[in-house]
Amino acid sequence: DVVLTQSPLSLPVTPGQPASISCRSSQSLIASDGNTYLFWFQQRPGQSPRRLIYTISNRDSGVPDRFSGSGSGTAFTLQISRVEAEDVGVYYCMQHTHWPHTFGQGTKLEIK
């Protein structure tokens, strides 16, 4: 199975400051069709997850533009340009290039 390793696992951030989460894959996520099926999810406390980013860098509808994704191959990053209080929660990267689809361990973002 593809292992996704996130860092850091805990991320205390002052409001208004940037934040960055790394996701590294145990193997390339480039699919045979040339796409890279790497996604980012947010799970706020007590809520279901929601997708923020698809195929590395595309924001889902309604996602604020302070969220951005980047990377290629086996190394990916989720960046928040200016953290707000509503961003508290756990962030997961996920791949579905390979079966089984797998998630990273999660990064808990908290406000300082």
Partner 1 sequence: EVQLVESGGGLVQPGGSLRLSCAASGFTFQTYWMNWVRQPPGKGLEWVANISPDQIEGRSVDSVKGRFAISRDNAKNLLYLQMNNLRAEDTAVYYCLAWGHVTYWGRGTLVTVSS
Q: Which residues bind partner 1 (CB under 8 A)?
A: 41, 43, 48-51, 60-61, 90, 92, 94, 99-106
Instruction: Report, in Å, the least distance between residue 14 CB and partner 1.
Output: 26
* Smaller CB separation from partner 1, 43 or 81: 43
Pairing of strands 19-25, 75-80: antiparallel
* Smaller CB separation from partner 1, 37 or 68: 37
* Smaller CB separation from partner 1, 82 or 101: 101
Pairing of strands 10-13, 75-80: unpaired
* Largest pairwise CA distance in the chain: 43
Instruction: Report, in Å, the least distance between residue 96 CB and partner 1.
Output: 8
HSE of 105 in the Cβ direction (CA atoms, 13 Å)? Answer: 10
Instruction: Report, in Å, the least distance between residue 50 CB and partner 1.
Output: 7
Burial status of residue 21 (CB atoms within 10 A of its CB: 0-12, 13-18, 19 or more): buried
Instruction: Report, in Å, the least distance between residue 82 CB and partner 1.
Output: 25
Query: Cα dihedral sign for 70, 75, 81, 85?
Result: positive
* Smaller CB separation from partner 1, 50 or 82: 50
